[in-house]
């Protein structure tokens, strides 16, 4: 499977070449199988690294194709064409082989997340059980270590478990028939953690259209590019952006698992430095974690030409800290590329222009709350009442985007409304077993993304999710504004925070802010809670109840994003108090 090189009489594992050695085809394929068939003619491929940055497996695209075809022949003999197959998306050779084996055998893989590193077994079992029912999965391919928990999760459901490698499949084989241009590709589950998961069906056509747009327009892939990623492969940004799209452009990929990244974030930067990586993405918190853990290790980040930000709201302050910290390591702040996307659009919707860095728009929050217009901050803006939004660039040429008011009328510059998109990259619908495919769009082909934003010239600025909006005294308040107050006041003492509205009666409600706090001293925590409550009250123009909770106690989605809905549910049910125990510190809302 792996490539070795003879070094003074011994054999050393060697990563795949950056240069594929074949004429570049930049996303011009009709299916994932077509893309791998061509990439297999070259020398590039996929490499897997440990938390220490040691290469553990090197898998060329030729080896990936050969091994995927071997598993596909056994899958095709075992399952009817079109069957849905759960595949635990471990960052491993076994996952990418089995995922592509499904493509070659005409099956529809559904990448599933791994359990959380600490606790959460009950929630994970509920999620898996729901996904099995939603997608009508025929089997799950998983590492043997997870079979016990998966057996518990699927008890009473007619489903088989196989080793992730496919080694436990029956030996019988048939000639597999690959997916073609008009077939499905995979099912991507939505990342929400409190509602029944939605299975988003990506087709070969939508996948190919979005990969081509990412490769040619967004990242403008060129000779010498190399991808580096720690993103989870069960989420669209990791699966499409840093496995399938590189394969569609014959790029080598260097993988670090999300767990290893969380343990040693510096290894991500070490891989970019050592392998001359040029393309790599992270949500804002990944860049922030690198800054917090950096100890001055020697790095050369000068090759990194597109440092993407996606998967969550772009936080300009965290990215400024990253560029300042790693400027001496050759990182250029112009390399930052903000983008916007969602699984319903396969992945990408818009990209900021390359080599320009962040386009920051500083807005008067109070005026935006009152008028739903992104009015630029000025000398008249009250101190602490401004907010830095980051433009996510222009929509891809193949994507139409509009911003509308509640009546559906299109809005002009700086008017905040709901974001709608229409493109060939849209998935075919939401899947639920034994039901017709639920359409994503209206009769004219427009998808309501559920996101809010505004036009900044010809670029899109995303301000948040409409479902998270807090209504107070007739004004719309963005929860991020309240949460970022906690970051500003608490600094590195504070990790994640979640703001949401609590309705006590039909006529009364209050704003609650849960803040993960690293400090242990009771007096310091009490002072911090009071200071945050006062600053949040000033910013929001409404009372805010602040509660400091333990680190890692706020729930996140499968893609690592904060889930305000799940935080609210846990708070209402009392689970949040059980989780934090005596470490909770409260500050009553200031009048």
CATH of domain 4-349: 3.40.50.12780
Of the candidates 411, 414, 390, 277, the one whose C-alpha atom is nearest the C-alpha of residue 339 is: 390
How much is the pTM?
0.86
Whether 422 and 447 have beta carbons less than 8 Å apart is answered as: yes
**Looking at the chain, how many residues does it have?**
591
User: Residue 76 has what pLDDT?
Assistant: 98
Return phi, psi of residue 418, to 5°: -85, 140
Bridge partner list, 85: 109, 139
Q: Which of 62, 16, 43, 559 is nearest to 254 (CA)?
A: 16
What are phi and psi for residue 15, nearest 5 degrees?
-70, 160
Residues of the chain with CATH 3.40.50.12780: 4-349
Residues 6+ apart with CB under 8 A from 204: 30, 31, 32, 179, 180, 181, 182, 183, 184, 185
Place of tokens 């240069």: 19
How far from chain centre, in Å, is Cα 62? 28
The distance from CA 445 to its chain's CA centroid, rounded to whole angstroms, is 25
Residue 502: is it exposed, middle or buried by C-beta count within 10 angstroms (0-12/13-18/19+)? middle
228 near 279, Cβ under 8 Å? yes
Which tokens belong to 27? Answer: 């996303």
SS (H, E, C) 13-77: ECCCCCCCCCCCCCCCCCCHHHHHHHHCCCCCEEEEECCCCCEEEEEEHHHHHHHHHHHHHHHHH
The three-state secondary structure class of 421 is strand
pLDDT at 557: 66
pLDDT of residue 193: 40
Q: How many Cβ atoms are within 10 Å of 327's Cβ, its own excluded?
A: 12
Output b/e per residue, 26-64; b: 16+ Cβ within 10 A. bbbbebbbbbbebbbebbbbbbbbebebebebbbbbbbb
- C-alpha 567/C-alpha 384 separation (Å) is 26
Q: Which residues pair with 7 in a beta bridge?
A: 10
pLDDT the model gives residue 1:
54
Q: According to the CATH classification, is domain 470-587 in 3.60.9.10?
A: no
Tokens of 114: 């791994």
Q: Nearest-CA neighbor of 562 among 198, 313, 304? A: 313
79 DSSP assignment: S
For tokens 């959460």, name the residue.
120
Tens-binned pLDDT, residue by residue, of the chain (591 aa): 555 444 454 567 999 999 999 999 999 999 999 999 999 999 999 999 999 999 999 999 999 999 999 999 999 999 999 999 999 999 999 999 999 999 999 999 999 999 875 556 887 898 899 899 999 999 999 999 999 999 999 999 989 999 999 999 999 999 999 999 999 999 998 754 445 678 999 999 999 999 999 999 999 999 999 999 999 999 999 999 999 999 999 999 999 999 999 999 999 999 999 999 999 999 988 999 999 999 999 999 999 999 999 877 788 888 999 999 999 999 999 999 999 999 999 999 999 999 999 999 999 988 888 889 999 999 989 887 888 899 999 999 999 999 999 999 999 999 999 999 999 999 999 998 888 999 999 999 999 999 999 999 999 999 988 877 787 766 678 788 788 888 888 888 898 899 988 876 555 678 899 999 999 998 999 999 999 988 888 777 778 899 999 888 888 765 566 778 788 878 877 766 544 444 456 665 444
pLDDT of the residue at 5: 47
Tokens read off for 207: 């996948």
Q: Measured on CA atoms in the order 420, 451, 120, 94, is the torsion positive or negative?
A: positive
User: Two tokens at 107?
Assistant: 């099956």
- Residue 259 neighbours by CB distance under 10 Å: 15
Number of H helices, E strands in the chain: 17, 30
435 CB-near residues (< 8 Å, 6+ apart): none
- Neighbour tally for 5: CB within 10 Å: 9
pLDDT of residue 543: 85
Residues of the chain with CATH 3.30.300.30: 470-587
């Amino acid at each position: 499977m792996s490539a070795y090189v003879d070094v003074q009489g011994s054999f050393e594992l060697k990563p795949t070449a950056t240069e594929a050695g074949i004429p570049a085809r930049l996303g011009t394929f009709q299916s994932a199988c077509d893309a791998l068939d061509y990439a297999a003619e070259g020398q590039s491929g996929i490499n897997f690294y440990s938390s220490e940055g040691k290469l553990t497996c090197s898998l060329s695209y030729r080896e990936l194709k050969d091994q995927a075809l071997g598993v596909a022949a056994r899958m095709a003999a075992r399952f009817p064409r079109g069957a849905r197959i759960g595949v635990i998306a471990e960052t491993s050779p076994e996952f990418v082989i089995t995922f592509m084996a499904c493509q070659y055998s005409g099956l529809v893989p559904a990448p599933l997340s791994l359990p959380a590193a600490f606790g959460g077994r009950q929630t994970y079992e509920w999620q898996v059980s729901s996904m099995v029912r939603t997608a009508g999965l025929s089997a799950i391919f998983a590492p043997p270590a997870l079979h016990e928990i998966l057996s518990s999760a699927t008890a009473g459901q007619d489903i088989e478990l196989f080793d992730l490698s496919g080694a436990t499949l029956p030996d019988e084989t048939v000639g597999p028939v690959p997916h073609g241009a008009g077939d499905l590709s995979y099912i991507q589950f939505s990342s929400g953690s409190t509602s029944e998961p939605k299975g988003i069906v990506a087709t070969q056509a939508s996948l190919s259209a979005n990969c081509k747009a990412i490769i040619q327009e967004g990242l403008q892939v060129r000779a010498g590019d190399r991808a580096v990623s720690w993103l989870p492969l069960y989420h669209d940004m990791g699966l499409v952006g840093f496995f399938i799209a590189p394969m569609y452009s014959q790029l080598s990929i260097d993988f670090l698992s999300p767990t290893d990244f969380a343990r040693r974030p510096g290894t991500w930067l070490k891989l970019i430095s050592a392998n001359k990586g040029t393309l790599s993405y992270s949500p804002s918190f990944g860049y922030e974690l690198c800054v917090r853990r950096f100890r001055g290790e020697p790095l050369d980040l000068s090759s990194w030409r597109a440092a993407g930000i996606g998967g969550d709201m772009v936080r300009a302050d965290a990215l400024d800290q990253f560029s300042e910290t790693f400027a001496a390591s050759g990182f250029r702040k112009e390399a930052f590329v903000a983008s916007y996307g969602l699984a319903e659009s396969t992945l990408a919707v818009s990209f900021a222009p390359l080599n320009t860095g962040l386009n920051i728009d500083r807005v008067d929050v109070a005026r935006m709350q009152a008028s739903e217009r992104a009015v630029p901050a000025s000398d008249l803006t009250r101190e602490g009442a401004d907010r830095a939004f980051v433009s996510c660039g222009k929509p891809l040429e193949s994507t139409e985007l509009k911003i509308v008011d509640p009546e559906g009328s299109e809005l002009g510059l700086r008017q905040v409304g709901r974001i709608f998109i229409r493109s060939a990259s849209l998935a075919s619908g939401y899947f639920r077993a034994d039901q017709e495919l639920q359409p994503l769009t209206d009769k004219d082909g427009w998808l309501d993304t559920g996101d809010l934003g505004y036009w900044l010239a010809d670029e899109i600025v995303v301000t948040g999710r409409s479902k998270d909006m807090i209504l107070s005294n007739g004004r719309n308040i963005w929860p991020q504004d309240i949460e970022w107050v906690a970051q500003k006041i608490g600094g590195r003492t504070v990790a994640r925070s979640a703001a949401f509205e609590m309705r006590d009666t039909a006529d009364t409600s209050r704003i609650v802010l849960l803040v993960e706090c690293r400090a242990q001293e009771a007096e310091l925590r009490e002072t911090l809670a009071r200071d945050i409550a006062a600053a949040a009250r000033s910013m929001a123009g409404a009372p805010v109840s602040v509660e400091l909770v333990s680190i890692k106690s706020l729930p996140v989605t499968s893609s690592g994003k904060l889930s305000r809905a799940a935080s609210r549910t846990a708070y209402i049910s009392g689970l949040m108090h059980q989780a934090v125990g005596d470490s909770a510190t409260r500050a009553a809302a200031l009048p």
